[in-house]
Amino acid sequence: MDSRFDFLWALGAAIVAFGISAILGKVLIPYLHKLKFGQTILDIGPQWHKNKQGTPTMGGIMFIVGIVVSTVLVFGIYIFVNGGAVFGTAGTFIGLGMALCYGIVGFIDDYIKVVKKRNLGLSAPQKLVLQFGVAALYLVGMRFLGNADTATIIPFLGEVELGFFYYIISALVIVGIVNAVNLNDGVDGLCGSITFFAAVFMMLMASVMNSKGMIIESAALAGGLLGFLIWNFHPAKVFMGDTGSLFLGGMVCAVVFTLDVPVLILPIGIVYLAEMFSVMLQVGYFKLTKGKRLFKMAPIHHHFEMCGWSEVKVVCVFSMVTAAFSLGAFLLTYFGVGRIF
C-alpha cells in the first residue's frame, strides 16, 4: 500500500475517534456531575488550583472509548479488506489490551478517591503490583502471540539482542513511563496535548516502518485526544483522571514496543521523563538537605506555574518541546531504523 492509502486509513481512524470522544463529552460530563464524581484538589498543589474543586474526573473514558472503537473498527475493516493477512495484527490488539488494563487500574484508583472518599486512592504498593502485573501479561502475550524476539532496534546500530534481560528492562520501562505520564496530568490540557503530538509523530514512525496497525492505532490516539481536548483545555470542564492518564501511558508504550523501538521513548517522552525525574530529584534533595527544595514545586509543570507561567503557556511550551523531540525521534526512525526494513 502506498503512503496516500495509509493516510486515508489514518485519517479515517482519527475522525472516528475524534467524533466519538467529542460527542461523549456532551453525555458523560453532565452524568459525572450528576454522580458527583468531582476532583478533590489536594493541598500539595498550587493554591489557585483550588477553584477547580469539584470538576468532574474520569473523563478519560471519553477518549478511551473513542480510541478503542476506532482502532478495532478501522483496523478490523483493513484486515478484512486484506483477507486477514496483515503483519503485526496480534501486537496491535495486545498493545491495545495493555492500555485498557492500565485504564482499568486507573479507574479503580479514581473510584476509590471519588466514591470511597480516600484522596490518595490505591496505595503505592497496590499500584505497583497491578502495574507490573499488567506489564508482565503484555510481555507474555507478545512472547506467545505477537513478537517473540528479545532483540530491540537501536537507530544506526540495528538489532541488539538482550536475551532474558529484555523482559526485566521492558517491564521497568513500561511501568516507569505509565507513572511518568500519570504525573504529567496536572494542568488543564497538558497531558492530552503532549500525548497528541507524541501520537502524531509515532504515526509517522509507524508509516516509515510499514506497520499498518500502529499507523491506525496512533491516528486513533491523536484523534481521540483532540476530541477530549475540546472539553479539557483551559478552563477544563472535565479531567481525564488516572483512568485516562494510565491508559495513555499504556498506549505510548504499546506503540513503541510493537514497533520494536522502545529506546525512542526517550525523545518522544522527554516531558514525561522530566516530570518524573523532577519529582525524584525534589524528594531526594529534600531528604539530603533536611528540608530544602530544588524546585519551587514538583512535578516540574508546577514549578513553572509558581514562576508565573499561565497554564496555557505551560501547555504550549511543553507541547512544543515534545513536538521538537518527537520530530527527532521520527528522523532517527527514518534515517536510522527505516533502512533496516
Tell me the three-class secondary structure of 303-334, residue by residue: HHHHCCCCHHHHHHHHHHHHHHHHHHHHHHHH
Which structural domain, as residue segments, surrounds residue 164? Answer: 3-340
Phi, psi of 151 (to 5 degrees): -100, 155
pLDDT tens readout for residues 78-137:
999 887 767 678 889 999 999 999 999 999 999 998 877 666 778 899 999 999 999 999
Cell of 34: 450528576
Chain-centroid distance, C-alpha 307: 27
- Measured CA to CA, the distance from residue 211 to residue 338 in angstroms comes to 11
270-290 pLDDT, tens digit per residue, is 999 999 999 999 999 999 998
Q: Work out how many domains the chain is built from and give that number.
A: 1
d(CA 92, CA 82): 16
Q: Cα separation of 121 and 320, whole Å?
A: 32
pTM above 0.85, yes or no: yes
Q: How high is the pLDDT of residue 1?
A: 45
C-alpha cell at position 85:
493477512
